[in-house]
Structure 1
Amino acid sequence: MTTYLLVISFLLHGILLVAIVLLSLRVSKAKEIEKRQAQVAKEIEDTFTAYLLEIKEENERLLNKLEENGENGERVRVQEERYNAPQETKKQQDHPTSEPVTFKEAEEDSLPAEMPVEYKPPLPEEQVDYQPSIESRILQMYKQGATVEQIAKRLDRGTTEIELTLKFQLRMS
């Protein structure tokens, strides 16, 4: 009878040891998955941070260029005045719409020199050309073998933006 109880005891101990090993493996896999998810989240956060810093630098360069060119607000003010308070003079009303306004007439009417001299109606829908999106152009160039730097130069974009777009698009597919 004691041998019978010893055999049952060994069997139960063996089953419990196997169960403990299986549970410890599952816990270690769960911890490993958590570490990978935290690493991916950190990579995404770092990528976004780098992307935002690059955008900030580009904005600062744009502001510097605008200040260098002397367009730091005067042009915006002129455009606001032109669109917010349209005033038609007598000469403007006398011109038929089919004839373009010349520079001489624009000066006589005291219009800003930056005002377009002739109205061009928008193209009909059948003449509008399809332009692929930036993302599709990036993917197409990448599939053709272009490097990130080459793509950035051709599309006049930042390398971080190209890398970010490629990373997200390749993960999606």
Structure 2
Amino acid sequence: MVSFLLIISFLLHLITLAAIFQLVKKIPASESDTASDEIVQALERSLAEIKEENNRLQALLDHKEPVSEKKIQSKIKKESTSDKQRVPVKNEKPQDDIDRLLGTDSGYKVEASLESRVLQLYAAGKNVEEIAKTLNCGKTEAELIIKLYNQ
């Protein structure tokens, strides 16, 4: 009896596998083609957008003016006037608190930033090593500042 049930089960499995195989053969290959076509179209659109962005960036880079000495000098002047730090200086006579808070009293002096001092020395014709020694900073730091403002 068990062998009879095993044979029937085996036959049913064979019939089921044959039916599945026939159904798989009937599925049109066009469905998978449409999905791949959609993927290809999406990738082409993305590629076109990237090309447009690259062309726009290249056009901007091509129209960029070269850096002249006048621009460097104007950057140096802007740095020396805009990036000022206030450093308190000892003063014997007492100052008004409001003046001290506003920074209008004579107890403060204006000091230029490191960037502006590096650029001033570079514009004066000093090399990176001399600038680093003069300002007591690293050569790499001075070189990076110069490269940043020369772009």
TM-score by length of 2: 0.34
Structure possessing the higher radius of gyration over alpha carbons: 2
